[in-house]
Amino acid sequence: MQQTSFREIYDTLFRRWKTILVSVIIALMIGLFAYLITPKEYSGEALLAVEGTADNKKGGLGALANLAGINITEQNGLNALVYEDIIYSTPYLIEVGQHKVMYKGDSVYLKDYLAQAMIVSLQQKISSLFGGKPSVVSSNDTVSYKITEEDPGQFRYLKTFHVDGLTRRAVNILRNRIDFSLSEKSPVINVSVKLQDPDVSAEAARIVIKELSDYISDYEYDKQHHNIAYLEEQVQKAKEEAYQAQAALARAKDRNRNVISAIPSVELQKLAVESQISQNVYNSLALRLEEARIGIEEEKSTFMVIEPPIPMNVNSPVAPRFVIYCIFSVVLGVVAAISIIFISTFLQRNL
């Protein structure tokens, strides 16, 4: 088998430079056509600062509790590490899609925009070269899913979602268009939504942030109310036990009045200790209940917006990038030309 030297390869490619040039030009034309029919995408981006979740009650009753040796420091809110799972969850994305956005001067549901304007045919892509934009027909229903409550008990929060096809398509598109990143060095969250309209992308990012804030606020509110309901039940039970212990101690004192004996004295001491313990438990629970009631009235912010989402310039999309298309086309054209040259040379030598 005849071996081919590097010099021969160079001479072959140099002689067939026209083939390489034609191949690159054709690849550039194909790349330019693909660039023109590819919808432009814009990113609505926002920066959020996550606040601490540990809430140490140091004022008012909290200081009194610390003096009494009671630690009422509690963990409030959700861990920032679960924000990403929340944002990509189906119920959350369904709620985001129920909001309205402005598109082409009309107010449409975000889910309708995602399901109709984000998926376009080749004819619509070609018409977009001449300034055309896909239209969106707003659906009549404002709630496109049903929730079936399960039996109460261990799975009382489990719900079954019945999602229609339009909403399912919108949820899948939105899930792939949201980018969430949490900095490891600082408590900063970056949330961006990439869509084909600069105003809609910025508005969608704002909706994502608002829904996340509402989700966390609802979680904290439900958690605090559940805690208050539990404390009220425990306080009532401790109150009854304290009253029973006091009554038992009073009855024992009445029975053993003017009685000189060691046994009644020991019994009275035991009942006095039990009464004191019951009273201390009741006071501790009542203090925690009062703190919980005061805390629920306080306005708490889980995160603050550092940089709000701002619509991008219509002439500065994040995708597609013309330079990337050109580089890829040139590389593809060169590779195709070299392949054609070597295949034709090989066939000429062996046929």
pLDDT tens string 241-293: 888 888 887 887 777 676 556 566 677 778 788 888 888 888 888 888 888 77
For the cut 90, the answer to whether the pLDDT of residue 208 exceeds it is yes
Residue 333: inside a domain: no
pLDDT at 143: 41
Residue 256: inside a domain: yes
| Long-range contacts of residues 238-244, Cβ cutoff 8 Å, at least 24 apart | 238/278, 238/281, 238/282, 238/285, 238/286, 239/282, 241/278, 241/281, 241/282, 242/275, 242/278, 242/279, 242/281, 242/282, 244/278
Structural domain boundaries, residue 237: 39-319
Report DSSP letters for 221-282, one per residue: HHHHHHHHHHHHHHHHHHHHHHHHHHHHHHHHHHHTTT---HHHHHHHHHHHHHHHHHHHHH
Residue 329: inside a domain: no
Domain count, the chain: 1
pLDDT band at 332 (very low <50, low <70, confident <90, very high): very high
For the cut 50, the answer to whether the pLDDT of residue 144 exceeds it is no
Preceding amide of 320 cis, omega within 30: yes
Smallest CA-to-CA distance from 227 within 281, 282, 293 is with 293
pLDDT at 4: 60
Residue 6: inside a domain: no
For the cut 60, the answer to whether the pLDDT of residue 69 exceeds it is no
pLDDT at 136: 56
Q: Is the pLDDT higher at 224 or at 161? A: 224
What's at 243, amino acid-wise? Y
- What residues does 188 pair with on adjacent strands? 49
pLDDT at 261: 60
Q: How far apart are CA 34 and CA 322, in angstroms?
A: 10
In contact, 207 and 46? CB cutoff 8 Å = no
In contact, 47 and 307? CB cutoff 8 Å = yes
Report DSSP letters for 313-330, one per residue: PTT--SBS-HHHHHHHHH
pLDDT at 28: 94
Q: List CB contacts of 44: < 8 A, sequence separation 6 or more.
A: 192, 193, 194, 195, 198, 201, 202, 203, 204, 205, 206, 309, 310, 311, 312
Smallest CA-to-CA distance from 216 within 341, 325, 53, 345 is with 53
pLDDT at 133: 54
Residues 20-62 pLDDT 10s? 899 999 999 999 988 888 888 899 999 988 765 444 444 444 4
For the cut 60, the answer to whether the pLDDT of residue 299 exceeds it is no
Q: Is 258 left (phi over 0), alpha (psi -120 to 50) or beta?
A: left
Residue 23: inside a domain: no
Residue 110: inside a domain: yes
Q: How far apart are CA 160 and CA 151, in angstroms?
A: 12
Residue 215: inside a domain: yes
Q: Per mean pLDDT, which of 10-19, 22-31, 219-228, 317-326 is the most reliable?
A: 22-31
